[in-house]
Chain A
Amino acid sequence: MRTSLARFSAVLVFLCAIPLAGQAPQPTPPQGQEMVLKITKEAGRKLPLAIPPLSAPGVAAMQSRVVEPFTASLRSDLEYTGIFVIADPAHYPSGSRDPSTVEIADQWRGTGAEYLVDTRGEVTGDRISIEARVWDLKSHQLMLGRRYSGGATYVERIAHTLANDLVKEFTGKSGLFLSSIVFVSDRDGSKEIYAMDFDGRNVRRLTSHRSLAMNPDARGGKIVFTSYIHRFPQIWMMNADGSGAREIPTSVELNASPALSPDGGQIAFSGSAKGNPDIYVVGTSGSGLKRLTMTHALEASPDWSPTGRQILYTSDQSGTPQIWVMDAEGTGPRRVTYAGNWNDEGAWSPDGSKIAFACRNEGDFNICVMDFPNGNTVQLTSEGSNGHPGWSPNGEKIVYQSRRGGSTQIYTMDADGQNKRLLTERSNNMQPIWTP
């Protein structure tokens, strides 16, 4: 159990506060937190929050630089979760924000909200301090009180931090609002590696190889990718900000689709000797190259299980590309997918219970999710040609690429396929990897 007893009981209290009328008793979940999410989603009901603008007395001049970006970020983050809905600000009472009395609490409940997120800011020089109070409007109790401070130019970052804390408080899971997505784009001509915030904002370019830099994987502050900068593809590794880039030499060809092990010490990849692509591993120092698959078929797209004990990969040894799994030492290979004539680019969910992959029967590729190892498979997309799924660090969302109308762009969706969002629009953007 990673969660403390205090957190666990807080979640249970909250669980009881959600109306469950008319629902059949739920089976006992392995962890309390997960049940909260399931119930809110299955009930098709979102938690209504009132989020009045940041109150920052005496800083009228800061309205556009502090109040508006902070409030907009906080509202947009919380709506993005799919768990909350923001009560219409047009109906907010103009008076007190202290709902510890029945009268004030009722005024706020009149907006449809069940919780009030009251934030107050104080600007001193170039620093800002923001105090957040979250009230349960039914019990008039303070649920959460926290203070954040930082440079006044980082108000959005403070809003993201508060949003993460609220998600943690309400669901027990980590929020995504400080996470990044590493991806490939041809917006500057050749394919290069880029990163952006979880919502598609703040794009930064990480490589300038001016050849082909692609197939990134990211973990633990490191990014690995394949580069054609020296004409023949090699694996490269760099820090999350693009610094410290170096080549990881291997004695095989191809060097495609590198995947970092959970402990960060090894890279699984698709390597080739004499035209026989297999899965190999190599240490991040470049030593200890080892061939894991021993077929004459084609193997590609490895992904490590969260424990690092197994590797998922694509093999065409059955006649069509299908997803297989083996132990990390290369032993015990077995086929995972059977439906459809092309299943590829498998990605393990953070808790190891599901895999997402590009699936095709006839026509275009879609994103499918399967309960691992041999459970139900659900197709989550139906528009465009889709691929390269990756899980958000908390396992709640899936990022993927979709080709529609001549260009490939990056989308996110809930792990059940709802709430699809387009994140990119310039040129082609693809091969997304979601990092904490």
Chain B
Amino acid sequence: MKNRTWTAVLALLLTGTLGLVAACKKKPPTTAAGAKPTAEESGRTPETRVPPPPSGTPPGGVDSGVLPADVAEINAKGYLKDALFEYDKADLRDDARTALAADAEWLKRYRSVQFLIEGHCDERGTSEYNLALGDRRANAAKEYLVSLGVDASRVKTVSYGKERPFCSQSTEDCWQQNRRAHFLVTAK
């Protein structure tokens, strides 16, 4: 879990940085074309560089129904919960169904969101078998969402088998983290 928290923190930091870069890059047209930023400009406090919220965003942002502009930021906020699996199984457990039901509600609220479900496996077993198992896990999660009313055309699936583990120790805790259908928002 720790790994994921740090990844989220990093992603947030990165998103902030990208926001700054984007803000800097948008600036030149209003000043002399091709001019380098002056020392004064680069020395400004970060706060002044944060892009203003999209027009119409009420205070409180997402709680009122509007998502962050940036897809990476949406993913970092973790609106969509992953589904976890038993060893060598692609059946949905109760906790997975609970997570997916909440995901379905969220997805029905934000109907323009396109997303990807990645199937992941723990390190036990062969690479080729786990690719097929990850495919089943991703599709099991997808089918459940579709049965709850989410439009199938909004979702794509991909299996990473045991190639992209979330944590790398050989312990049951770690293996459980790696047996999952992982959600990624790909378009808002």
Contact = CB atoms under 8 A, between A and B. Distances in A.
**Nearest 3 Cβ contacts at the A-B interface:** A275-B139, A277-B132, A257-B128
A215 interface: yes
A212 B163 contact: yes
A388 B126 contact: yes
Interface stretch (A118-126, A156-164, A298-306, A412-420): A298-306
22 contacts: A212-B160, A254-B131, A256-B131, A256-B132, A270-B131, A272-B135, A272-B139, A272-B159, A274-B143, A275-B136, A298-B129, A298-B133, A298-B136, A300-B128, A301-B126, A314-B128, A321-B125, A345-B126, A365-B126, A387-B126, A387-B127, A431-B127
A321 B143 CA distance: 24
A276 B133 CA distance: 9
Given A254-B135, A275-B139, 10 more contacts: A191-B163, A215-B128, A226-B131, A256-B131, A272-B139, A276-B136, A301-B126, A344-B129, A345-B126, A431-B127
A358 interface: yes
B167 to A, nearest CB: 15
Indicate the size class of the contact surface on chain A: 20 to 34
B136 A277 contact: yes
B158 interface: yes
Contacts of A365: 126
Interface in A220-257: 226, 228, 231-233, 253-254, 256-257
A345 B128 contact: yes
A277 to B, nearest CB: 4
A177 interface: no
B128 A342 contact: no
Contacts of B160: 212
A430 interface: yes
A214 interface: yes
Interface in A148-173: none
B142 interface: yes
B80 interface: no
A321 B139 contact: no
B119 to A, nearest CB: 9
A275 B129 contact: no
A314 B129 CA distance: 8
Contacts of B143: 274-275
Majority secondary structure of chain A interface residues (helix, strand, loop or mixed): strand
A7 B128 CA distance: 43
Given A275-B138, A275-B139, A301-B128, A233 B159 contact: yes
B11 interface: no
Contacts of A212: 160, 163
Contacts of B107: none
A253 B142 CA distance: 14
A345 B130 CA distance: 12
Contacts of A231: 158
A167 to B, nearest CB: 33
A387 B135 CA distance: 21
A64 B90 CA distance: 60
Indicate the size class of the contact surface on chain B: 20 to 34
A270 B128 contact: yes
A342 B125 contact: yes
B177 interface: no
A276 B138 CA distance: 11
B90 A275 contact: yes
B132 to A, nearest CB: 4
A365 B125 CA distance: 8
B89 to A, nearest CB: 10
Given A272-B132, A275-B90, A299-B132, A214 B139 contact: no
A257 B131 CA distance: 9
B184 to A, nearest CB: 10
Given A212-B163, A254-B159, A300-B132, A344 B126 contact: yes
Contacts of A274: 139, 143
B143 to A, nearest CB: 7
Interface in B95-141: 125-129, 131-133, 135-136, 138-140
Nearest to A364: B124
B156 interface: yes
Nearest to A273: B139
B114 to A, nearest CB: 13
B178 interface: no
A304 B159 CA distance: 24
A382 to B, nearest CB: 18
Nearest to A256: B131
Nearest to A191: B163
Contacts of B140: 275
A53 to B, nearest CB: 45
Contact of A270 (B132, B138, B139, B158): B132
Given A233-B158, A275-B140, A321 B129 contact: yes
Interface string A326-345: 00000000000000001011
Contact of B129 (A232, A253, A276, A300): A300
A431 B130 CA distance: 14
Nearest to B168: A406
